[in-house]
Amino acid sequence: MSCMRVLDAGMPLFFHYQETLEMSDDVAVISRDRVKMDEQAVLKYANRKPGKHAAEMALVERSMPELPAGACVLDAPCGAGRLSLWMAQQGWQVSAIDMGAAAVDFTRQLLIDNGFSVEVKEGDIFSMPWERRAFKLVVCFRLIHHFSDARVREKLLRELARVSDQHLLISYLSPWSYTGVKRWLKYRLTGHSSRQNHTTLRELKSMLEPLGFILAKDVAQRRLFHALHMAYFVRVNNR
């Protein structure tokens, strides 16, 4: 079975980077330093503290639904490829996408080095090149917190939901945590906002329910202490 169902060849698959990337509807601009554009940035991310990496991957594993071997899954964005590799090791057919060329190259080589053939694309995560409902599972890990504008978050969720046939996993930073409160207090006292934007679970639900997805479970890395959560949504209709 192939997961490589892409849109019409006449449609643009990739976007051009200048100093910033502007979304077509002018909702927001994402700066270059938020995307792993160069090899050094990817290596820095790939070589983070082992304990932090292990805790985050344990969170992902606790959140994952059971899928059959060969299930088509998408890692968006793939970053340094750690989740793409883990999903390939589960026997699933993995596709991956990232906005940074260096991340794409790193992920592709990581999978090859571990004996896997994976479709890895450089492209616009707000307008991905796959058909509607192309994947049994779509995972978006450590991205949505980069966007302070709720309209941008909604645009991202709409695109993730479009390509998901059944399961959708979204990581987010909850404001109802020690970390979230600490960042809020810092902002109130100094006026300096964090680059880590917090999102409520209520917001995610309000954006995804009209698209046919309901919340199945919400898993915290360390409830009430750590802000990182995984929200697992399931499609319940054909919207």
More confident call, 47 vs 137: 137
Residue 99 lies in a domain: yes
Say which CATH number the domain at 188 has: 3.40.50.150
DSSP 8-state class, residue 214: E
Residue 167 lies in a domain: yes
Measured between alpha carbons, how far is residue 77 from residues 21, 68, 93, 222 in Å? 16, 23, 16, 23
With a cut of 80, say whether residue 90 has pLDDT above it. yes
Res 194: pLDDT: 60
> Which strands form 213-220's sheet, in the order they lie side by side?
119-122, 93-98, 72-75, 135-140, 164-173, 228-235, 213-220
Q: How many domains does the chain have?
A: 1
Kindly state the average pLDDT of the residues 209-227: 87
Res 218: pLDDT: 96
Contact 186, 192 (CB under 8 A): yes
Kindly state the average pLDDT of the residues 34-53: 69
Residue 115 lies in a domain: yes
Please list the alpha-helical segments (H only) found in 64-170.
82-89, 101-113, 150-163
Residue 112 lies in a domain: yes
Looking at every residue in the chain, the average pLDDT score rounds to 82
Q: Domain range holding 145?
A: 20-235
Residue 108 lies in a domain: yes
Q: What would the pLDDT profile of 170-194 be if each residue is shown by its tens digit?
A: 999 998 765 655 655 555 666 666 6
Phi-psi group of 53: left, alpha or beta (phi > 0 → left; psi -120 to 50 → alpha; rest → beta): alpha
Residue 2 lies in a domain: no
More confident call, 52 vs 134: 134
* Lookup: tokens for 47: 């070589």
Angle subtended at Cα 123 by Cα 118 and Cα 127, rounded to the nearest 5 degrees: 115
pTM: 0.81
Each residue of 170-191: b (16+ CB within 10 Å) or e? bbbbbbebebbeebeeeeeeee
Whose tokens are 């919400």? That residue is: 218
Q: What would the pLDDT profile of 107-159 be if each residue is shown by its tens digit?
A: 999 999 999 999 999 999 999 999 999 999 999 999 998 898 999 999 999 99
